[in-house]
Amino acid sequence: MRGTGAVLSMAIIPILLLFLLCAIKEVIPYSVHWKPTWPAYRVPIILPQSTHNLDKPEFVAEAKLEVSSPCGPQCHKVSPLPTYEEVKQYLSYETLYANGSLTETEVGIYVQRSETESRGRSRMKRQIYGYDSRFSIFGKDFLLNYPFSTSVKLSTGCTGTLVAEKHVLTAAHCVHDGKTYVKGAQKLRVGFLKPKVKDSSRATNTSSSAIPDKMKFQWIRVKRTHVPKGWIKGNANDIGMDYDYALLELKKPHKRKFMKIGVSPPAKHLPGGRIHFSGYDNDRPGNLVYRFCDVKDETYDLLYQQCDAQPGASGSGVYVRMWKRQQQKWERKIIGIFSGHQWVDMNGSPQDFNVAVRITPLKYAQICYWIKGNYVDCREG
């Protein structure tokens, strides 16, 4: 285990206290000069305790491009908090390697203490809510530039987001149906949009802004895939949707600018109460589709919204742009993963939402550890 030379005081604590200690460290007051600012969170430490081999999966499940759950916001809000042992179980994870081998890793959860401190029904296809507010992104000048360039396509049909030099964040159901790994998961590839041919000279009096550039996908193989046990054990039930995320490690660096992950702030602190994401919706083949919308409701683990989306957009990174006070600059961060669809009983009337899995302090600690390989670089989200 790597350290910095300083003595750390870490202790296992009950899950309720864990949630409380993961709260915002600083409260930034509103003023006439107020900017939507990234809050500072105390992030717990998640460390592997033991790893053992599992039987090789058979890769027989059909890839599902969406997931649904009947448990809405009120259902989640009245559910009891998980125990510490249950959270450890949910955050333990499986790792699938390119050669088909599979391991399971159990984890421990710790909190670093300072000297002054001693937690309806399902639907087969997502709806377009009224007027279709999605924007197809055309032209290499947009597609190849940040933030749209961070969106990638999975060979199983979903979307992913670049979150590090060799890592892609996506939805767990894009590689695992809750019971077993899907067909194509062993030879999973990630596609990057690139120009099909080099630009030829064009007449200066010809406008090409409305003419989409011809693009193609360049594919990179995935070296290994991490999936939390909360998804595998939950099988897309009330708990499972909370853990619908996975991290892919590529066999080589992608050499593009990526978007960092961050802890999801409360919806009321989001700029305009809105979220943004781009994905490869199936009804617009070959197109990257961008959208934004208001968050309608939230639980500790999920964001409920009505962003227009179709199958294929699953796994898209949900992001916001806020002020980074330490660096005195604006910064976009991934705060969630677009997951699926829910029918919600709102005062006796069914209403449908699209759902994103929030990156909580615990999930941030886990995903960051998967990326960095140590907890030292994952102290604040």
**pLDDT, tens digit (0-9, with 9 covering 90-100), for 132-176:** 555 565 556 666 788 989 999 999 999 999 999 999 999 999 999
Q: Report the alpha-carbon distance of residue 240 to residue 339 in Å, rounded.
A: 11
Residue 19 lies in a domain: no
| 26 vs 14: which has the higher pLDDT | 14
Q: Any idea how long the chain is?
A: 381
Residue 23, pLDDT above cutoff 90: no
pLDDT, tens only, 334-347: 999 999 777 666 66
pLDDT at 196: 73
Secondary element (H or E) of residue 305: strand 302-305
Task: Indicate if 173 belongs to the active site.
Answer: yes
Give the residue-averaged pLDDT of 281-303: 89
* Catalytic-role residue among 264, 314, 316, 339: 314
Give the residue-averaged pLDDT of 18-27: 46
Residue 219 lies in a domain: yes
Which range is most confident: 14-28, 207-221, 303-317? 303-317
Q: What pTM value is reported for the model?
A: 0.82
Which range is most confident: 21-30, 123-132, 159-168, 283-292? 159-168
Which CATH number fits the domain that encloses residue 331? 2.40.10.120
pLDDT at 59: 92
* Catalytic-role residue among 68, 76, 167, 173: 173
Give the residue-averaged pLDDT of 10-29: 46
pLDDT at 356: 93
Q: Report the alpha-carbon distance of residue 312 to residue 191 in Å, rounded.
A: 13
Q: How confident is the model at residue 197 (pLDDT cuts 50, 70, 90)?
A: low
Residue 202 lies in a domain: no
| Token pair of 263 as six digits | 């802890």
pLDDT, tens only, 118-130: 333 333 344 554 5
Question: Beta-strand (E) ranges in 55-208?
Answer: 93-97, 102-113, 135-137, 151-154, 159-164, 167-170, 189-195
pLDDT, tens only, 215-254: 789 999 999 999 999 998 754 445 568 999 999 999 999 9
| 121 vs 374: which has the higher pLDDT | 374
For residue 106, the Cα-to-chain-centroid distance in whole angstroms is 21
Q: How confident is the model at residue 29 (pLDDT cuts 50, 70, 90)?
A: very low
Q: How confident is the model at residue 78 (pLDDT cuts 50, 70, 90)?
A: confident
Residue 39 lies in a domain: yes
Task: Indicate if 68 belongs to the active site.
Answer: no
Contact 254, 159 (CB under 8 A): no
Residue 26 lies in a domain: no
Burial of 323 (0-12, 13-18, 19+ CB in 10 A): middle
pLDDT at 204: 44
For residue 227, the Cα-to-chain-centroid distance in whole angstroms is 12
Residue 125 lies in a domain: no
Secondary element (H or E) of residue 19: helix 15-21
| Token pair of 203 as six digits | 């007449």
Position 85: which residue type?
Answer: E
Position 271: which residue type?
Answer: P
DSSP 138-173: -SHHHHTSTTGGGEEEETTS-EEEEEETTEEEE-GG
pLDDT at 241: 83
pLDDT at 233: 72
Share of the chain above pLDDT 90, in %: 45
Position 120: which residue type?
Answer: G
Q: Report the alpha-carbon distance of residue 297 to residue 180 in Å, rounded.
A: 31
* Catalytic-role residue among 122, 213, 238, 283: 238
Residue 53 lies in a domain: yes
Task: Indicate if 238 belongs to the active site.
Answer: yes
Say how many domains are in the chain. 1
Residue 211, pLDDT above cutoff 70: no
Residue range of the domain that includes 96: 33-111+139-195+213-372
How does the average pLDDT of the chain come out, rounded? Answer: 80
Residue 107 lies in a domain: yes
| 49 vs 74: which has the higher pLDDT | 49
